[in-house]
Amino acid sequence: MSHRDAMRDASTQIHKDPSLYNEDLAPTPSGERDWGWFELLNVWANDVQSLFGYTLAASLFVTYGLNGWAVFAGIVLAGFVVMGLVNLIGKPSVEHGIPFPVMARASMGVRGANFPAMIRAVVAIFWFGVQTYFASTALALALIALIGSNGPSVFLGFSSIQWIAFLAVWAFQITLFWNGIDLIVNFLNFAGPFVYVVMVTLAVTIWIEVGNDLWLELGTIFRGTGNYHGSSLGAFVAIVGTMIAYFSAVIINFGDFSRFVRSEHEMRKGNLLGLPINIAFFSLIALIVTAGTVALWGEPMTNPTDIVARIDSLPLTILAAITFFAATVGINLVANFIPPAYDLANLMPSRINFRVAGIITSACALVIGGLWVSTISQIGILGLVNTLGAVLAPVYGIIVVDYYLVKFGKLDVDQLFSAACDGEYFYTNGWNIAAIVSFVLPATFSVLTVWVPMLNALSGFAWVIGAGFGGVFYWAIAKR
């Protein structure tokens, strides 16, 4: 039986209101949920293996002046925290095969769910465009290495080679989503192991090159370096908060992935391997390479592109460019494409499906990425985007508390697709007023951490605090 036929058979029992239903939002039939722990491991591997992810992991060891083992402990602790968060929000999607925006209808209302879905889509689409540009810089790196010259800027701050690279990456991503989720998963399953093979090879190569000096530099880093002036506890808390904040964009939408997983056991196993264990392994590689750069050049280098430029080897440059390209496209698909595809479909299911949402996302990416160098990166728009991201924090708490403590793990899936006035999740004109009221104050706090300097110290934990308060307020109101 084909996937479409299975979808149709499974959906015959669902009241299909056209304003709430299409085949992409419909529950994935149990026979079609074929993801295991390996697929989830690669979702998280691709989420970590970006240029920013490497730089973040390496910087944590050289910035805070904390003992190396304490840094590792903070990184692993953050991995366990994120694992717990995604296990909670992923369970109902594993059980019922529904994506995040459909799951949100149970707590926010069948119409109210459009609110977090719209905000999440806007944030993800913006970053999809930005990451498309950064992925193109990896391809441009290889082209420039082969040709020997970049050439002058011809339009919007891009040279001809950079435009060719940008459009090629843009077209490659369109090809992936146009062929459906299966091809995307195949790419993620390739990119995750491939990037690790290259990174391990790089670490081993540096180890052989520097010999025993590597252990001396590792010892120096593990004793603590950096210019952080706070306490050791403050440094540890900052590390944990920074790592949690890094994953916050994917946490709320985790149901978009767990809906394809065979069982809760497979989900938990994949999250264990993909979060604390995968993060620790990735950080260890980043640490070895960083220590090697100190031994080779006398300074810690945490940016992979700087390392490649310093080595000045054509084969290594091309291999590194391919690796950076695969890693950046991987995180773009995980964090910035699949989530908005379902979020946009949830806004107008009768007109927007997964492919149409992909077209919309890619069209915006073409504009945002094309204007990134000349305009967008210069006008301070990141504050606005971070504000929208902070707004989503309480939604996580509301959804989780509603499912576990208010509805006690019970959902009527048919009613999630019903716009009848007496429907279980219609509430007041399709909006759950209790959820909206519970959302306001925690969201305000999360936004203030972005804009108020005295709250910047809490910015790493702003998402967790906002989610916690959202859940507490909702539980207090809903119980009444």
pLDDT at 60 over 70: yes
Please write the tens of the pLDDT for every residue from 454-469.
776 676 677 888 899 9
Please write the tens of the pLDDT for every residue from 348-406.
998 898 889 989 999 998 999 999 888 887 776 666 667 777 788 899 999 999 999 99
pLDDT at 50: 80
pLDDT at 372: 87
Q: Tell me the whole-structure pTM to 2 decimals.
A: 0.88
* Helix axis angle, 314-331 to 304-311, nearest 10°: 170
CA angle 71, 283, 217 (to 5 degrees): 75
pLDDT at 6 over 60: no
Q: How many CB atoms lie within 10 A of CB 1?
A: 11
- CA 127/CA 246 separation, integer angstroms: 13
Q: Give me the chain's average pLDDT, please.
A: 86
pLDDT at 66: 75
> Which residue matches tokens 């697929």?
39
pLDDT at 156 over 60: yes
CA nearest to 377, candidates 209, 147, 129, 92: 129
Q: What is the CATH number of domain 35-479?
A: 1.10.4160.10
